[in-house]
Amino acid sequence: MTSNRTPAPAAGASFAALPLGDAMQANLAQLGYTEMTPIQAAALPLMLAGNDLIAQAKTGSGKTAAFALGVLNRLDTRDFAVQAAVLCPTRELAEQVAQELRRLARAEENIKILTLCGGTPLRPQADSLAHGAHIVVGTPGRLMDHIERGTLSLAGIKTLVLDEADRMLDMGFFDDIAYVAKQCPAERQTLLFSATYPEGIGKLAQRFLRNPKEVKLAERHDAAKIRQRFYEVRDDERLHAVGQLLAHYRPASTIAFCNTKAQCRDLLEVLHAEGVEALALHGDLEQRDRDLVMIQFANRSCTVLVATDVAARGLDIAQLEAVINVDVTQDPEVHVHRIGRTGRADQAGWALSLASLNEMGRVGAIEAAQGTEFEWHKLSELAPAPGGPMLAPMVTLQMLGGKKEKIRPGDVLGALTGEAGLPGTQIGKINVTDVFTYVAVDRDIAPQALRALNEGKVKGKRVKARYLTD
């Protein structure tokens, strides 16, 4: 993979600098798109030159128009084969993308764009496909359904777009994406757009992109976004202090690092006694239990993860609002690694550390390594913030049936958003394991979602679901 860290993108540059037709230029002006957004300025020249591309920029930065212009530029309207496919995580997002594509496609006559998402019957979609379409926008599962039934061929694809790639990975769509990508000609252009850059993106890019250029507009580790505070504690008040920090800062997602397994176990007990929903990850767990803990923490149905450094290695968690150092590490590099897990992308994060008098030597070593002096605060300043008990934003539903039953994430998403009519925006990560499927849903709609699964059908079959914890 050739890395092409964005130079300074010419934010505000005019679209006129791009090799686009007159009709398109006029249409852009009519839409009020006078200047390129930074991601457009950085990505469009690379895309129009035919490169595969990985583009990362925060939500609302104009990624849709960026890839839409790339897609439209390669289109031959006289050819009625499907020439571009845009994969999106949910129906809502697919509709938004199709809408933006249609606005931009007005420059040319007769460009046909179809959305193909689950939750609606296949037949009318198949009929529309039979009439010919230039661009299809949809969820990976539904595209796969059409391919399997022979109602969609991707043999004529020139551009494949993976939009909101991070979210598609969240929802467990890797295998479905792989299936769809395999149906496209090898000499296509592939464009990957994402708001964040979790490790999975690299894997995705390696599998499906060819010598991609990379355009990143937000650094993953941004030291300036990490707000570090130290609290002096006595050893006998340390574990209780973790609860005080949580009650005061109310981070939606926290990893509390301990130096030993024993400390993890003790902390977990104290937190549970204080009514905090926490889970622990340490070396004594069996792989199955470890996976379950990870599923719940990553899907935001558990707010606090208590872990040793070894257990947390390789965890790929986006959106961590806080890291708490329950113990100070001996190795300054480990400290930097721990706190680097917060303050990512466009979000600020807290790095809160507890230190007793006999740990001051270690704190000094970390200060020296980081070249800063830390800010000290007192435990007595901490007061519980309003809002009552801290509940995780999501709830995990466990459904009997998984890979062995050939359940795919899209089947579950379809069951919840289709007949049941729940909004895709309130459905979180979907994890399909061998015998179970786990789906995170917004706490607000958890009872409806549970009812929808138990009373409806998934893949045409009745299923059993329950809350994973309660």
Site residues, Mg ion (CB under 5 A): 63
What is the smallest separation between the CB atom of 190 and ligand ADP, expressed in angstroms? 17
Nearest to 193 by CA among 213, 179, 220: 213
Q: Kindly give the pairing relationship between strand 457-458 and strand 461-462.
A: antiparallel
CB burial of 32-65 (b: ≥16 within 10 Å; e: otherwise) equals ebeebbbbbbbbbbbbeeebbbbbbbeeebbbbb
Element (H, E) at 367: helix 360-370
* Closest to Mg ion by CB, 68 or 339: 68
Separation between Cα atoms, residue 250 and residue 323, nearest integer Å: 12
Q: Select from 29-37, 230-238, 254-262, 284-292 the region that touches ligand ADP (CB under 6 A).
A: 29-37
The letter for the amino acid at 333 is: E
Q: 148 — alpha (psi -120 to 50), left (phi > 0) or beta?
A: alpha
What is the smallest separation between the CB atom of 55 and Mg ion, expressed in angstroms? 10
* Closest to ligand ADP by CB, 6 or 353: 6
Contact, 428 vs 449, CB < 8 A?
Answer: no
According to DSSP, the residues that pair with 111 across neighbouring strands are none
When CB distances are held under 5 to 8 angstroms depending on the partner's kind, the choice from Mg ion, ligand ADP, none that residue 60 binds is ligand ADP
Q: Which residue of 6, 27, 37, 329 would you call a contact of ligand ADP, by CB under 6 A?
A: 37
When CB distances are held under 5 to 8 angstroms depending on the partner's kind, the choice from ligand ADP, Mg ion, none that residue 412 binds is none
* Closest to ligand ADP by CB, 90 or 254: 90
When CB distances are held under 5 to 8 angstroms depending on the partner's kind, the choice from Mg ion, ligand ADP, none that residue 387 binds is none
What is the smallest separation between the CB atom of 100 and ligand ADP, expressed in angstroms? 6
Q: In the bound complex, which residue of the shown chain has the CB atom lying closest to Mg ion?
A: 63
Q: Which residue of 36, 71, 271, 430 would you call a contact of ligand ADP, by CB under 6 A?
A: 36
Contact, 224 vs 193, CB < 8 A?
Answer: no
What is the smallest separation between the CB atom of 218 and Mg ion, expressed in angstroms? 14
Residues from 50 through 69 that contact ligand ADP (CB under 6 A): 59-65
Place of tokens 């800062």: 249
Separation between Cα atoms, residue 136 and residue 143, nearest integer Å: 9
Number of residues forming the site for ligand ADP (CB under 6 A): 12
Number of other CB atoms surrounding residue 218 within 10 Å: 18
CA atoms within 13 A on the CB side of 272: 9
30 touching ligand ADP, by CB under 6 A: no
What is the smallest separation between the CB atom of 113 and ligand ADP, expressed in angstroms? 16
When CB distances are held under 5 to 8 angstroms depending on the partner's kind, the choice from ligand ADP, Mg ion, none that residue 33 binds is ligand ADP
CA atoms within 13 A on the CB side of 357: 2
What is the smallest separation between the CB atom of 456 and ligand ADP, expressed in angstroms? 31
What is the smallest separation between the CB atom of 60 and ligand ADP, expressed in angstroms? 5
Using CB under 6 A, list all residues that contact ligand ADP: 33, 35-37, 40, 59-65
